[in-house]
Amino acid sequence: MMSDIWILATACLVASSCALVGVFLVLRRQSLLGDAISHSVLLGIVLSYLMMDGRSEIAMMVGAVIMGLLTAWLAEWLQKHPLLKSDVSIGMIFTSFFALGVVLISVYAGQIDLDQECVLYGEIAFVPFDTVIWGGESMGPRAFWLALVVFLVNVSVIAVVFERYRLMAFHPVLAVALGVSVPMWHTLLMAQVSLTTVASFDAVGAILVVALLVIPASSAYLVATSLKTMLVWALGYAQLSVLLGYGLAVWLDSAIAASIAVMAGVLLLATILFQQLIQKQSQKASLASEAH
């Protein structure tokens, strides 16, 4: 029972962090860039592991953030090429970086305590077994505390720079006219995405990170009436995806991370269908009122 609580708590924190930064990616139409960063940070993790000759979480985070920022910078630089579209440049970068990371893992398999399947799919069921020991007592899973720290960092950053992020998302031209450094705040957002991704790798893997970055925020976009309510809706969709996904995994005896991603997609589809139903009902009501 306690293991289930730790798994759900960790998954909820990971989902919340991804949903918060995902809102701004969706609003800026940069969901694919979030996908690119979530895959590219693998190379940063592997390089930091090799350079530090060990699995230092701080070094891995620093390496991942640097690689995430490099991915974003390269994507913007390549987009300036007249013959390359934005999706082409992003797809080229993240597939190349991710493939290079996999190659390095294969070549240095004896030196790197990383597995390609773990990176892709994660295994949140093992979270309760890697605990933090303080004063001889177990304080809970390491992944939970890491996810909690990253969540608090994301909440704090968004709270402090909320107006800057809102201008950057809705009025980038006005932001420049007002003297707001859009590239600087864009870099900060990319750093948040990179940090969130690497903190989630061990627990849920890259595939679920991509799903949680995009799907809850997309669902929230359909129903929200303001940026603040969109953030709240995104958090709600993320939590509901975790709860329903975990229930589905227990019922089917399937992978937890994949089940969460499936339920996130189901919730998005349900939201779209519900929106269409509401629109049809409103159209019928308006036609009926005109007929009378």
Q: Which two tokens stand for residue 154?
A: 């994301």
Helix (H, G, I), strand (E, B) or coil at 54: coil
Q: Which residue has the higher pLDDT, 55 or 205?
A: 205
Question: What is the rounded CA–CA span in Å between residue 164 and residue 62?
Answer: 25
- Residue 160: pLDDT over 60: yes
- Residue 12: pLDDT over 80: yes
Given a contact cutoff of 8 angstroms between Cβ atoms, the answer to whether 200 and 18 are in contact is: yes
Question: What is the rounded CA–CA span in Å between residue 229 and residue 238?
Answer: 14
Question: What is the rounded CA–CA span in Å between residue 221 and residue 207?
Answer: 21
Say what the pTM is. Answer: 0.86
Tell me what the mean pLDDT of segment 229-234 comes to. 95
Given a contact cutoff of 8 angstroms between Cβ atoms, the answer to whether 245 and 264 are in contact is: yes
Beta strand spans in the chain (E): 131-134, 137-141
- Residue 80: pLDDT over 80: no
Question: What is the rounded CA–CA span in Å between residue 191 and residue 210?
Answer: 16
Given a contact cutoff of 8 angstroms between Cβ atoms, the answer to whether 256 and 125 are in contact is: yes
DSSP 187-233: HHHHHHHHHHHHHHHHHHHHHHHHHHHHHHHHHHHHH-SSHHHHHHH
**What pLDDT shows up at residue 78?**
77
- Percent above pLDDT 90 for the chain: 26
DSSP 19-49: HHHHHHHHHTT-HHHHHHHHHHHHHHHHHHH
Phi, psi for 8 (deg, rounded to 5) = -65, -40
How far is CA 266 from its chain centroid? 18
How far is CA 222 from its chain centroid? 19
- Say how many CA atoms lie within 13 Å of 52 toward its Cβ: 17
User: Domains, the chain, ranges and CATH?
Assistant: 2-207 (1.10.3470.10)
Helix (H, G, I), strand (E, B) or coil at 83: coil
**Best CA proximity match to 199, nearest among 154, 240, 231:** 154
Of the given ranges (82-91, 204-213, 233-242), which has the lowest mean pLDDT?
82-91
Question: What is the rounded CA–CA span in Å between residue 284 and residue 2?
Answer: 51
**What pLDDT shows up at residue 68?**
80
Q: Which residue has the higher pLDDT, 245 or 81?
A: 245
Taking only the tens place, the pLDDT of each residue in 96-118 is: 888 888 888 777 756 566 666 66
Helix (H, G, I), strand (E, B) or coil at 137: strand
- Residue 85: pLDDT over 90: no
**What pLDDT shows up at residue 243?**
95
